[in-house]
Chains A and B, each alone.
Chain A
Amino acid sequence: MPIIEVSGLRKTYGDVVAVDDVSFSVEEGEIFGILGPNGAGKTTTVECVIGLRAPDAGSIDVLGLDPRTQREQLREDVGVQLQESVLPGKLRVGEALDLYRSFYRRSADPQQLLDLLGLSGKRDAYFKNLSGGQKQRLSIALALIGDPRVAVLDELTTGLDPQARRETWGLIEGVREHGVTIILVTHFMDEAQRLCDRVALVDHGRVVALDTPEGLAERVRGGKLVRFTPSAPFNDGLLTALAEVRSLEHQGERVAVYGSGDLVNAVILTLAAAGVTALNVELGAPSLEDAFVDLVGGAEVGDEPQGASGEVRP
């Protein structure tokens, strides 16, 4: 059963339509991504979900609560990490946690949170003396200090160096293991692909696709790619006749086959039946990034998945 349901959400600021029509539901325990380019309406969407803004139309249900009328209760159960929110520079890490902890009826153990987020040694440090990654981790700690059932994390790793980003991702997976459902707002494809169970791709205030990261990627241009060197020449029609195959391309000695479903087995078995062995088989898949470019637009993209996008594994 979903614990968050958003349907037909719409929010305008004057003439500007920030969110046109957004619907999605989030299952308990999942990491749900809201992915889209800047200005797509991601932040406005979550602001409505957490009751910071009143939608113009649509309904929102979070843990059985209406964010507009039951804000007080909602805030006990939903932890929030906001984009571009900073703490006073001379507030110590431990003081910030103690203060925010006092706001909640239920709370997590600050020491355990500091351990979980790798801030144990920074308890007495001023906020302004923390590194970008540490500030972000404290921000996550504050989102979790009320022992929430749902955590909303907005642009979690923006501005962090690659090392800090990877560390933060690891932490988020740890948080989920504690049973917290997470809504992750991001414009980074790699982040969504790494962390999210499902992703809503938002553009111009609408959900243009909603699927697992793999599902989204697969949806694009057939989805899968098998590349091999045939042991002997064969008739292309053998493979293109298969339901799994969409297209085939000779690349010198190599043959690249694009398609979907159980493409590898279909190709190898069919070739074997014809007495041809596929040598040096490479598998590839378009990445979520390909899906993003394809669904959200931007540059015109070719019809073929490019193994070079970092997803080809030998």
Chain B
Amino acid sequence: MTSRRSPSGPRPPWRAFWKLVATEAKLAVRTPVVLILSVGLPVLMLIIFGFVPTFNEPLADLDGLTVLSLYAPILSVFALGFLGLVGVSMPLAGYREQGVLRRISCTPAPPSWMLGAQLVINLGVAVLALLIVNLGIKAFGVSGPKHVGGYALAIVLCVAAIFGIGLWIASFARSANVANAIGQVLFYPMMFFAGLYFPREMMPGVLRQVSDWTPLGAAVDALQTAAEGSFPSAQSLLVMAGYALVFGAIAVKQFKWE
């Protein structure tokens, strides 16, 4: 009952890692709660907002911007935030709880592959979500970001920050349910400060200052600035980089594999 393959390095080939990614992707599609909430909800909101006439009128208060254009970065970070806080943390915590990580530790494949696989999958969904949201908003007549480089950098840092926090949740949460709860408890306040309920431009001074120091608030600030044509502020970028470094480092340091 044996088929011999030629021996290679001490670790399984990368092909096996991509097999894991493909398998995990199938599982994500079969239980699509995270997909629906991270991609579906922003798209739904986009469609609703897109058909609200007042959201499409340039406002003098907003330097001639429409409310809808302010929601382009907010809906983008909605997708990124949910994927990072829940999409990354929930399966990893669940796999620790179920002993899947321990089981993989018993094979030649390292359990860190599972972590890598979740990052890859959520990153893939994030790219998809950003494409849909940004193309959708364009369809409603909002022009794309004017400073593309700054916009891309802000996206990258936002992903690093929020995925870092997601990994941090995964590093200690005892079960999928706990990770989901922590993720959502963090997500909604973060989205509040990102301007989901009323855009940052309409926030009173103190709220806006707090918002500047939250990861998704800083992300929206950076994305909005880049959309309008300027390079994002150093503060907004550094805040995101800081979250990424601090939470990423804690996560790596304390991640429990069993």
Contact = CB atoms under 8 A, between A and B. Distances in A.
Interface of A: 50, 52, 72-73, 75-76, 78, 80, 82, 84-88, 90-91, 95, 98-100, 102-109, 112-113, 116, 142, 146-147, 178
B103 A105 contact: no
Contacts of A142: 103
Interface in B79-127: 95, 98-100, 102-109
**Residue among A52, A88, A91 with most chain B CB within 10 A:** A88
A106 B23 CA distance: 21
20 contacts: A52-B102, A80-B103, A82-B99, A82-B103, A85-B100, A86-B98, A86-B100, A87-B98, A87-B100, A90-B27, A95-B26, A102-B15, A102-B19, A103-B12, A105-B6, A105-B7, A106-B3, A107-B5, A109-B2, A109-B3
B98 A147 contact: no
Contact of B1 (A91, A95, A103, A178): A178
Given A102-B16, A104-B12, A85 B102 contact: yes
B34 to A, nearest CB: 13
A52 B105 contact: yes
Contact of B5 (A72, A95, A99, A106): A106
Given A82-B103, A85-B98, A147-B2, A73 B10 contact: yes
B109 to A, nearest CB: 4
A82 B106 contact: yes
Ranked nearest first, the 5 interchain pairs of A and B with the lowest CB-CB distance are A85-B99, A80-B106, A102-B16, A103-B109, A90-B30
A58 B108 CA distance: 24
Nearest to B13: A102
B27 A88 contact: yes
Contacts of B108: 72, 75-76, 103-105, 146
Contacts of A85: 98-100, 102-103
B253 interface: no
Contacts of B109: 103
Contacts of B106: 50, 52, 75, 78, 80, 82
A146 B16 CA distance: 13
Nearest to B17: A102
Given A52-B106, A72-B10, A109-B1, 10 more contacts: A82-B102, A87-B100, A88-B98, A90-B31, A99-B20, A100-B107, A105-B108, A106-B4, A109-B2, A142-B103
B3 A107 contact: yes
Interface of B: 1-8, 10-12, 15-16, 19-20, 23, 26-27, 30-31, 95, 98-100, 102-109
A104 B105 contact: no
Contact of B107 (A73, A86, A146): A146
Contacts of A76: 108
**Residue among B2, B7, B11, B103 with most chain A CB within 10 A:** B103
Contact of B12 (A73, A80, A105): A105
A44 to B, nearest CB: 13
A52 B3 CA distance: 27
Nearest to B99: A85
**Residue among B3, B4, B106 with most chain A CB within 10 A:** B106
A309 to B, nearest CB: 36
B107 A103 contact: yes
Contacts of B99: 82, 84-86
A106 B5 CA distance: 6
A177 to B, nearest CB: 11
B104 to A, nearest CB: 8
Contact of A105 (B8, B19, B95, B100): B8
Contacts of A146: 107-108
Contacts of B5: 105-107
A178 B26 CA distance: 34
Contact of A91 (B27, B102, B104): B27
A98 B19 CA distance: 9
A53 to B, nearest CB: 10
A202 to B, nearest CB: 21
Contacts of A98: 19
Contacts of B6: 105
B100 A113 contact: no
A305 B10 CA distance: 54
